[in-house]
Amino acid sequence: MKLTLIYVLLSPTFGMHQYTADLARQATTLGHQVHVVTTSMAPRDRYAPGVHLHTPVAHTTTGFAPEGARPAGVMRVWRQIMALQPDVVHFTGVHLWNPLLLALLRREGVATVHTLHDLDPHPDAQHGRLIRLWNHLVMIGAGRLLVHAERYRQQLTRQRPSAHVHTWPLTHTFLGAAAEDELLTAPPARMWESWVLFFGRVERYKGIDVLLAAAQGQNGDPPGVVIAGRSRSALLTSPGVIHLNRHIGDRLGWELFCRCRAVVLPYTGATQSALPAAAYAFGKPVIVSDSGALTENVTPGQTGWVTPAGDATALAATLAEVRRCTPARLAALGDAGRTWREMARIEERRRLGAMYIAVVGERTVTQGEARSGGNPALQPNHTPDCASATLASTFTYSPSCPDAISEGA
């Protein structure tokens, strides 16, 4: 079934566009007509050529910024969405307008999906209380919910039917469309230099203080850690640490992932992250803390290492172990991670397609009930594909066995 899919992302947040662009790319491979309704400030180079971008607003700030209170903009977004005659509208990031747009779409009988990224806001989130209220409104208004960790799926199924909550791991990379095409062509060449890589915007909840303390335990043998990403404060300086305090473009990011020994996520207040999958795409192992759902995508001794969140001593010991590993050992871990990601990508595409078919079928049946007074014999498509309706929520990954899928609860 070919559908008209609209992804809605009304903030210019780079990471959310990376996520949305990947979903849109995969939807085009499934044969769907794909549109993105977004801000004119969106990073267009993230999106594949087959994805159509529409920019009825020019938002320059995050989803809870004061500019979201302007009513004229929401109506422009609404008119743009409806002009495209969507089968499914999928909201992929945070914005104040989303609950209102969900209610309007529900009234018009349009199927909706909403991704929830942070059920538990980061400890230093600027709008923590507002995010919780907003999450509640989205849970009420969306036809289907998508989360990217099994622990959060289980949390949501206490409030919504399990068939309405979908999950799969985050598997996208940090690359734009052109570089992503290059990555798909052939595996990148790997080197195993002496340092581990912290990649992305530097925030306190990401455990940067823990990483700096752990790096000092490496006897100042530089460079033990490369931190690649902007910091809101000054340049981070510590023995054994190099800080690239700037936006990291695709070419430099590619080089860093190829050269590093491993990728490290020492987070103390995480939900989930796509960085393990990005590391696996480059055949590199991962070090994560046991914060949030990070451990769902890393198997100790097979694809990387897990350390206690906030424990600099344990992280220092792990960094020392990584430095002692032979290239052959690191390559074996990276190969297992790459296999995990390849299998996860296949499963993600299947679940993505099943989710959209399910929510459209559900909406069609609901509309038929309204027209026929609830008589199943008079409903169009009155024998929906129940298997499709539940397909995406009845399985969970078994990270300890990358190519195995096991029945979930």
111 beta partners: 88
Write down the pLDDT at residue 66.
Answer: 73
Confidence at residue 126, expressed as pLDDT on a 0 to 100 scale = 65
- pLDDT, residue 367, reads 56
Going by C-alpha positions, the residue among 243, 246, 251, 203 that lies closest to residue 225 is 243
Cβ atoms within 10 Å of 360's Cβ, excluding its own: 21
Range of the domain at 278: 188-340
Does residue 19 sit in the same domain as residue 98? Answer: yes
Closest CA to 27 of 48, 54, 11: 48
Nearest to 356 by CA among 397, 388, 329: 388
**Dihedral sign, CA of 326, 327, 333, 336?**
negative
Please give the pLDDT value at position 346. 97
* CATH code of 336's domain: 3.40.50.2000
Rounded to two decimals, what is the model's pTM? 0.86
Judgement on whether residues 194 and 99 belong to the same structural domain of the protein: no
Q: Which residues lie closer than 8 Å to 79 by C-beta, 6 or more apart?
A: 56
For residue 186, the model assigns a pLDDT of 83
Q: Are residues 334 and 196 in the same domain?
A: yes
Tell me if 258 is assigned to some domain.
yes
Number of structural domains in the chain? 2
Whether 181 is covered by a domain: the verdict is: no
Same domain, 228 and 335: yes
Per-residue pLDDT of the chain (409 residues; tens, 9 = 90+): 899 999 999 999 999 999 999 999 999 999 999 999 999 999 999 999 999 999 999 988 776 777 666 778 999 999 999 999 999 999 999 999 999 999 999 999 999 999 999 887 766 666 667 788 899 999 999 999 999 999 999 999 999 999 999 999 999 999 999 999 999 988 899 999 999 999 999 999 999 999 999 998 766 565 699 999 999 877 787 778 999 999 999 999 999 999 999 999 999 998 899 999 999 999 999 999 999 999 999 999 999 999 999 999 999 999 999 999 999 999 999 999 999 999 999 999 999 999 999 999 887 655 544 444 443 332 333 333 333 333 233 233 333 333 333 333 2
Q: Cβ contacts of residue 70 below 8 Å, gap of 6+?
A: none
CA dist., res. 14 & res. 239, Å (int)? 31
Q: Which residue has the tokens 């230093």?
A: 124
In the 8-state DSSP scheme, what is residue 236?
Answer: P
Contact 5, 28 (CB under 8 A): no
* 193 lies in some domain: yes
pLDDT at 174: 97
What is the spatial distance between Cα 132 and Cα 141, in angstroms, rounded to a whole number?
14
Q: Which two tokens stand for residue 222?
A: 């530089």
223 preceded by a cis bond (ω within 30 of 0) = yes
